Amino acid sequence: MARLFIKDPLAILCEGAGGGIVVENGRIAELVASGAAPSAPVDETFDASRHVVLPGLVNTHHHFYQTLTRAHPAAIDKELFPWLQSLYPIWARLDPDSFRLSVRLALTELLMSGCTTAADHHYLFPDGLESGIDIEAEEARALGIRVTLTRGSMNLSQKDGGLPPDSVVQDEDEILADSERLIGRYHDRSDGAMVQIALAPCSPFSVTKSLMTASAALAETHDCRLHTHLGETEDENRFCEEVFGCRPVDYLEEVGWLGPRTWLAHGIHFTTEECARLGRHRVGVCHCPTSNAVLASGFCPVEALEAAGSPVGLGVDGSASNDASNLIEAARHALMVGRLRTKSAAAVTERGVLRLATEGSAACLGRGDIGRIAPGLQADLALFTLDELRFSGAHDPIAALVLCGATRADRVMVKGDWRVVDAMPVGMDVARLRAEHGAAAARFA
């Protein structure tokens, strides 16, 4: 219940808080104007005069396990379908120990980049890894980071006309039963929740219509969200037209997913009319600029989607198509890619991409308790210094984080607790993690 005053920040992404903010009981208790003092006594003061204070960044799409196959020779310089076909047999060798290390490293990397909430899309459950989502929940709890863990799934294999090999798919009944188990065990619908569950059939080319429809019904019953890849490549569009006889957005409507419970990963190849439909139904979209560039997938129409009413957030995507788990870096990529696409500097701004990474991402996850610095909201904060040479001469501290290429937060707070101090995660031996994870990754060569 101690009151902490984060005092006199160098800059803060919040109107009316130039003098700082007061944190109490895991929440933002008060905004302090420039030159003012808190309205009531505080127990502790943190001098933030060297720090740029942002709301904690929110990552809305990732595949933690892919940290084991970054820059893999079998997959580099390929586009999505051949990239997946190269990596599926390698990923099929996942085991609980290597998976746990992949999750630990991804979450640590995200936290160090200023991320306080992370959504993971895990859809691979080879024999022995049935408890994959449980492992993710354990690792997130140990690190003190918020998570939306999506119970991914694949049940349309190559023998059925899908893309994944037979060895990595599951039966629909098994998928739905485990989804219900995970919802019952972990899904916290309360304000300030640390763990939530979403249902996430992987993609049109790896799941059946039946599974999509059943997942939508289950999400409605248990009040959880829905997530999938959609509109990522032209190959996916052609697959939908050939197999389902319609385009991806039509498919989404047919299976009962066209609504505000849904957020999509990528959302690149939508027509103007499809953007309008998605917006009318408040379907969210996670923009993944780095992955979209690495796999040469295309440009997400961020402005058209937002103008139509769709929440748009930001995601790093998998660490085999990024190849990092760094959300502040992804914000810079969103700026650069967005300006290339729009051919307008004014249309895509530094504060605009930070809004995608905070408020927009929170909206995609259906959360009104995070993503902004405001009284009553969760005290999730990312504090960056401008001490590195790359920032010398920068005159707008907030814009500098994006334009000068910030990569690492100095302090990160989740629910009022410091989880990163002096740029290092609290309680984590980073050198040991690097060595153990590297050894595990070597087995996937």
What the block records as the tokens of 323 is: 């190849």
Q: What is the mean pLDDT of residues 335-363?
A: 97
Question: What is the average pLDDT value for the chain, to the nearest integer?
Answer: 96
Length of the chain: 445
- Of 132, 133, 175, 134, the C-alpha closest to 153 is 175
Q: What is the pTM of this model?
A: 0.97
Q: Are 312 and 364 in contact (CB under 8 A)?
A: yes
pLDDT in the model for residue 424: 98
What is the pLDDT confidence band of residue 254, given thresholds at 50, 70 and 90? Answer: very high
Q: Are 61 and 330 in contact (CB under 8 A)?
A: no
DSSP string across 344-402: -TTTS-HHHHHHIIIIIHHHHTT-SSSSS--TTSB--EEEEE--SGGGTT-S-HHHHHH
266-284 tens-digit pLDDT: 999 999 999 999 999 999 9
pLDDT in the model for residue 162: 84
The domains of the chain, with CATH numbers, are 3-55+377-425 (2.30.40.10), 57-364 (3.20.20.140)
Helix (H, G, I), strand (E, B) or coil at 212: helix
Please say if the pLDDT value at position 429 is more than 90: yes
What is the pLDDT confidence band of residue 164, given thresholds at 50, 70 and 90? Answer: confident
pLDDT in the model for residue 320: 84
What is the pLDDT confidence band of residue 425, given thresholds at 50, 70 and 90? Answer: very high
Please say if the pLDDT value at position 96 is more than 90: yes
Alpha-carbon gap, residue 376 to 378, rounded angstroms? 7
Please say if the pLDDT value at position 392 is more than 90: yes
Please say if the pLDDT value at position 348 is more than 80: yes
pLDDT in the model for residue 201: 98
Beta-carbon contacts of 345 under 8 Å, excluding residues fewer than 6 positions away, are 339
Alpha-carbon gap, residue 291 to 138, rounded angstroms? 27
Q: Are 133 and 149 in contact (CB under 8 A)?
A: yes
pLDDT in the model for residue 248: 95
Q: H or E stretch including 181?
A: helix 172-186
Which ranges of 255-301 would DSSP assign to H, the alpha helix? 272-280, 289-294
With tokens 């984590």, the residue in question is 428
What is the pLDDT confidence band of residue 166, given thresholds at 50, 70 and 90? Answer: confident
Please say if the pLDDT value at position 1 is more than 80: no
What is the pLDDT confidence band of residue 101, given thresholds at 50, 70 and 90? Answer: very high
Helix (H, G, I), strand (E, B) or coil at 191: coil
